[in-house]
Structure 1
C-alpha cells in the first residue's frame, strides 16, 4: 500500500509540474504587451516600462516562472495590476463563494442523479426507466446558464422568492445560502442528468454478474440485492464521474456566476481575462488545473478503498 501511494504522489507531482509549464508558456506566448494593454494606448513609454518592472515582465521567462513557482509554495502569488491587491487573497476571497456553490450543486446533483439512476436500472424498460431517460436527455440538452436565466424569470421576477443576483456575504449565513440556491440548482441540473445515465449504466452492468444471481438465489430481498450488492459494486464509475463533476462545477461556473452576478472565482477569471491581468489569469488557471489534478488523484486513491481487488493486484 505505501508503494502505491508513493507512485500516485509521484505521478501527481509530475502532472502538476507539467500543468504549470503549460499554463505559464501559454500565457507568456500571448501576443501584445500586457503592461501597455493595462495602461491603455495613451500611456507614456516610461510609465509602461515602470509597470513592466513592477510586474516582472522585464525579466527572462525562466526567472519569471521560477519566481512564480517559488511564490506559490510560500503563498505569494504576486500583486494584481487591475485590483491592486494580493492575488492569493483575491482567489481565497472569491473561492469563499465558488466552493460552497459547487458543493451545494454537487449535493443536489448526487441527491437527484444517483437515486434516479438506481430506480431506472431496477425497473429497466419500465416507467421509471423511461422517465429517467427523458430527464437525462432534457438535462444534458439544456445549458446551465440558460436554465439559470429561466430560474430568475420564474422565482425572482415572477414569484419574487429569491433575489435575481448578488451575494450578501457570509455575515448573513441564511441570506448567503439563499442567494446561492438558484445558481446551485442551475449548475446541478446538467450534472444530475449525466449522473443519472452513468448510475443507470453502471448498475445495469453489475446486475448481470454471477454474484447478483447468487444473492438472489439466497433469498435476499430485491432492495438488499440492489443497494448492498449491485450499487455497491457499481460505485467506481459513479465516484469517477462525481469527482469530475466537482472539478467542473468549480472551474466551469464562469457563465452561471456572471448570470447571477456572484463574486466567485469564475467571474474573477472572466474579469481578469477582459482586463488582461496576466498575474491573476496565470494563478487562476493554475488553480483550476491543480484542482482537477488533485481531485483525480483523490478519486484514483478511492478506487483502492472501494475495490479490494485493485489492492490485491499491486
Structure 2
C-alpha cells in the first residue's frame, strides 16, 4: 500500500508540473501586452516601461522566468498581480472562501440526491418512475451551467421576484446572505446531480443482481431492507470515486457560474484577470485549482482503499505472504 500511494503522489507531482508548464507557456504566447494593461491608455516613457518590466522580471529569458516561477510555486509564492501589485495567493485566498460557500453545498446536495434518486430508479427499473428520473437526469446533464443559471434568473428573480440575481449580499452588507446562494448552488449542483444519479442507478442495478441479494430475499427479508441495508452499501463503492472526482468538476465549473451570478469567488477573479490580461492571477488561479483537484483525487483514492473490503483483503494477503 505504501508503494501504491508513493506512486500516486509521484504521478500527481509529475502531472502538476506538466500542467503548470503548459499553462505558463500558453500565457507566454497569448496575445496582448500586460504592461500596457497595467498602466492603462496613458503613454509612458521607455525608461518607466523598462522599470516595470524589470520589476516583474519580464526582462529575463523565458526559461529563467519559468524556473524561477516553478521554484516560487513550490515555496507557496504565486507572484504579484499586474493590475493591483498585490500577492496573487492573497487574492486567491480572499476569494476561496466564497467559492467554497457555494461549492460545498452543491457537492453535498448533488451527492446525496444522486444516491437517493439513483437507488429509487434502480428499484423501480423499467417503470414510469425510473423513466422520469432517467429522463430528468439526461436533460439536466445536457443543459450548460451558464444557460441554466440565466434561465433560473429569468424565472425566479425577474419574473417571480423571489431571489436576488447578483452578488453575495445586499449592497453595503458584509458576509453572505443565504438568499444569494440559492440559485448559484442549484446551478452548480445540477450537472453533477444528473451524472451521479445515472452512475448510482447503474451501480445499484448491478448490486441487485448479485447472489447475496438472492440469498437475503430467500430468507424472507423485506424488499426495502434488502435494498437499503444490503444492496446500497455495495453499490456505494463506485460512488466514492465519482463523488471525489466531481469536486474538481464543481470547482472548475465555478468559473461560469460565478460569472453569471456575479458571485465574488475564484471563478469571477479568474474571468476578471483574463479580461485585464493579468497573467499572474490567471496562472495562479489555474494552479490553485489544479492543486485542489489533485489533492481531492489523492484523498479519493485513499478513501476507496479504506472502504473497499476487496482491496483491504488483497493488502492483508500480501502482508501475510511477505
Instruction: Identify whether the pair has TM-score above 0.5, normalized to the shorter chain.
Output: yes
| CA shift digits 1:200-227 (9 cap, x unpaired) | 0111122212222222223332222222
* Closer/same/farther in 2, CA of residues 299 and 153 from structure 1, 3 Å limit: same
24-33 or 142-151, which deviates more: 24-33
Question: TM-score, normalised to structure 1's length?
Answer: 0.91
Distance 2:269 2:279 in 1: 12
CA drift at 1:37? 4.8
1:73-112 Cα deviation digits (max 9, x unpaired): 4433221011331111100111111111111111221232
Tell me, which stretches of 5 or more residues in structure 1 are unaligned?
Answer: none
Contact 1:113–1:196 (Cα < 8 Å) also in 2: yes
Native 8 Å contact 2:188 2:253 kept in 1: no
The answer to whether the 8 Å contact 1:39/1:48 transfers is no
Q: How does 1:221-232 map to 2 (within 5 A)?
A: 221-232=222-233
How many residue pairs match? The answer is 313
**Equivalent in the alignment of 1:250:** 251
Q: What do you get for the CA RMSD once the two structures are aligned?
A: 2.3
CA distance in 1, matches of 2:30, 2:157: 41
CA shift digits 1:102-146 (9 cap, x unpaired): 111112212322211100001111122011112112211222222
2:70 corresponding residue in structure 1: 69
Shift of 1:7: 2.9
The ranges of structure 1 where at least 4 consecutive aligned residues each deviate by more than 6 angstroms after the TM superposition are none
Instruction: Provide the residue aligned with 2:118 in structure 1.
Output: 117
Displacement of 1:160 in angstroms is 2.5
TM-score for both structures, normalised by structure 2: 0.89
Aligned pairs for 1:7-18 (under 5 A) are 7-18=7-18
Determine the C-alpha separation between the residues in 2 that align with 1:180 and 1:38: 33
Q: What CA distance in whole angstroms lies between the structure 2 residues aligned with 1:244 and 1:140? A: 16
